[in-house]
Chain A
Amino acid sequence: MSAPTLPAALADATRDDASLRRFLHGLPGVDQVGVEARATALATRSIKKSSKLWAIDTAISMVDLTTLEGADTRGKVRALTAKARRPDPDRPDTPRVAAVCVYPDLVATAVEGLKGTDIGIASVATAFPSGRSSRQVKLADVALAVESGATEVDMVIDRGAFLEGRYGEVFEEIQAIREASAHAHLKVILETGELATYDNVRRASWLALLAGGDFIKTSTGKVSPAATLPVTHVMLQAVRDWFTATGEVRGVKPAGGIRTTKDAIKYLVAVHEVAGEQWLTAEKFRFGASSLLNDLLLQRRTQHDGHYSGPDYVAVD
């Protein structure tokens, strides 16, 4: 996939290391108090009735159903794909999730399990979650995922290089993996919990967008704090600003720690009001979550039935 033609100012930003640094450090700062206050205020939106049901269905369709454990087995992945196909067997009108996310060596199993559906197969490549390995290993990891049939690649950036200010290196690595991912969608995991400041989150977001990432993703889920609302606000602002500058709509994926319908709706409100309506689709917004889906299903039933049914009414896979 060829890099899109960028407006002159942005293309110039990636010319060399120095101009990249100048560009990233020239981005407007993020005021911590302000962004946190805004996130808190927006989280008080009260969502009811038909809007809530719509929000639940939309959230379900945005879930990347994920298992990323050392103990993952083919059986576990098969169970997950079955769940992805039919999230709530009693209610066939339940939307399907967006994708199933697994380690590269399990992609083949997921492909088999999802045959005949349009559910995406995402894989965390590039020496996930730390990203601490050689370029060759990372590329080989990506190749394994893509060759096994992954349609989406979730890569981690080299946080060490980023924090040392070697932006050019991070940029170039994202580009290399962009190329190796071929037609697969590339999600760039910033691991915002390790970037420490909102200024860094904004810079890393732009770096990933400049290098051609289709999505920017908050976290691996292995580091605390993982996704937070203020961080997601900053990233949503970045994709919105990117849209203003280039006319392209790139996506955002908060991952890790979003467990309840209430939380998920807060994120949807942020997507709606910070980025805009056109981001309210699984093409442009995802939840990286494993336990969120069941709460969404339970709340969906509650909305339809008028009463809560309890965790034993949904599958635990």
Chain B
Amino acid sequence: MPAFEYAPAPESRDLANLKPSYRPFIDGEFRDGGGEPLKTLNPATEEVLAEVSTASDADLDAAVKAARKAFEKIWGPMPGSERAKYLFRIARLIQERSRELAVLETLDNGKPIRESRDSDLPLVAAHFFYHAGWADKLDYAGYGPDPKPLGVAGQIIPWNFPLLMLAWKIAPALATGNTVVLKPAETTPLTALVFGEICQQAGLPPGVVNILPGAGDLGPKLVEHPGVDKIAFTGSTEVGKLIQRQVAGTPKRLTLELGGKAANVVFDDAPLDQAVEGIVNGIFFNQGHVCCAGSRLLVQESVADEVLDKLRYRISTLRLGDPLDKNTDVGAINSREQLGRIRELADSGEAEGAQRWTSPCPVPDRGFFFAPTIFSGVHQSMRIAREEIFGPVLSVLTFRTPDEAVAKANNTPYGLSAGIWSEKGSRILWTANRLRAGVVWANTFNRFDPAAPFGGYQESGFGREGGRTGLEGYLDV
């Protein structure tokens, strides 16, 4: 009898309407950028997808100027109820074009289509719908009557959730009356530029949203630009620190959402099969390219062997490969550099004495792929327990008592998220009260909702995105 091998079920790449070239979106139109053009790759095949014209200093100036004008003349003075209409329109257009956007996102980023289709796009639309609802209710958000927008927001987003991070940044900024200059990541600019088309379709006034693709040198220029009132950044802690230095001493507001090394704490009374699912979802979702990924598994010693056995079995059923295949669970690593960094850190784990186990799944010859890997016998002093790997690599540590679990979970310079697995409500609450993390999930992991504030402690940054709290970052309160 043959094994149950699923035949390939590829989503059509034609749906992405891929064009040979893309251009910056400034003042309501697409313009040739004056910067050095860049090529964006499909990380699953290493083929060039499109050439992207990038923004020069003059383009940046033009975009900030357009945003300023739109803020002063149109968007800032506009009643909230009017702004809401635009946001609702954008949300609906995202829903209408969600298949196209999902395929494009998968081509450009390497994430599996089932995630871009079932997770990213629905959340992107939800963020615009949610914030559209706030636009005319800011007086009742708890910041006193008539809170004012800040002005022009400069926003820099990473490559792990290109469109979702755009939504997290743009939706609250627009809802509160700010205008936006956004720089998408160098390796994943395409969906952001298609979002420019959506702004046109929605009839958004020119200048309200400007999108400037570019390389790493464009970010600092945007941060430094005197015409920008607020900087919002999601990305690495390293870059976050540089930005904070740049902004220091200026009147600019700043929110940072940076790296993480989240602890996923499994107590011995946990629903073990679901905990295993949560561990898998926590670290292998989006190839582990998630700042709040549950990359440190803390499991109680009395169930450690059982959990590890179940985990290895479960991970060996994960399907790695073509991201456009609807049956793929783990897609491609976004870039060669990132793959190199993951390999380097994984090797360090082995060198420091942790036991490496890698899923026996077949790995494609082309493209950037890294098979799901777990390290057991990890200790707090190892690099793989301290540094963010940002890939499908899980470090497994054990603990004996709840106090030890909390101590180990908090023993990190980061503090973005954490997970607790227990059937006992009192234990969940006890632990959650002691974990220093922006989000604590109980008996689940990596759940997002526009109404739930998200953000970090310590080196994971400051400021919150989402919910009522998230509005504060874009209001003068």
**Residues of chain A having any CB pair with chain B under 8 Å:** 28-31, 33-35, 37-38, 44-52, 54-55, 58, 234, 237, 244, 268-269, 272-273, 276-277, 280-281
Contacts and interface: CB of A to CB of B under 8 A. Distances in A.
Given A46-B6, A47-B9, A280-B4, 8 more contacts: A28-B271, A30-B273, A30-B274, A31-B274, A45-B327, A237-B273, A269-B4, A273-B317
Interface in B259-304: 269-274, 277-278
B72 interface: no
B1 interface: yes
B256 to A, nearest CB: 32
Interface in B1-20: 1-9
B446 to A, nearest CB: 11
A277 B3 CA distance: 7
A243 B6 CA distance: 25
A45 B9 CA distance: 9
B197 interface: no
Contacts of B3: 277
B9 A48 contact: yes
Contacts of B271: 28-31, 34
B1 A280 contact: yes
A33 B278 CA distance: 11
Contact of A44 (B7, B118, B423): B118
Contacts of B114: 44
B443 A34 contact: yes
Interface residues of B, number: 27
22 contacts: A28-B269, A29-B271, A30-B271, A31-B271, A31-B274, A33-B443, A34-B271, A34-B273, A35-B274, A37-B277, A44-B326, A45-B6, A45-B326, A45-B327, A47-B7, A47-B9, A48-B9, A50-B7, A51-B4, A58-B1, A244-B309, A276-B313
Nearest to B118: A44
A277 B4 contact: yes
Contact of B269 (A29, A30, A52, A55): A29
Contacts of B277: 34, 37-38
B315 to A, nearest CB: 12
Nearest to B6: A51
Contact of B7 (A34, A48, A234, A273): A48
Nearest to B271: A31
B7 A52 contact: yes
Interface string B364-406: 0000000000000000000000000000000000000000000
A33 B271 CA distance: 11
A45 B4 CA distance: 12
A33 B114 CA distance: 20
Contacts, number: 73
Contacts of A276: 313
Interface string B302-317: 0000000100010001
A34 B270 CA distance: 12
Contacts of B278: 34
A44 B326 CA distance: 8
B469 interface: no
B444 interface: yes
Contacts of A34: 271, 273-274, 277-278, 443-444
Nearest to A61: B1
Contact of B5 (A46, A51, A273): A51
A119 B309 CA distance: 37
A104 B423 CA distance: 43
Interface string B223-247: 0000000000000000000000000
List the 7 shortest-distance A-B pairs measured between CB atoms, nearest first.
A34-B274, A46-B9, A31-B271, A31-B274, A28-B272, A46-B326, A49-B7
A46 B327 contact: yes
A55 B272 CA distance: 30
Nearest to B442: A31
Contacts of B272: 28
Nearest to A35: B274
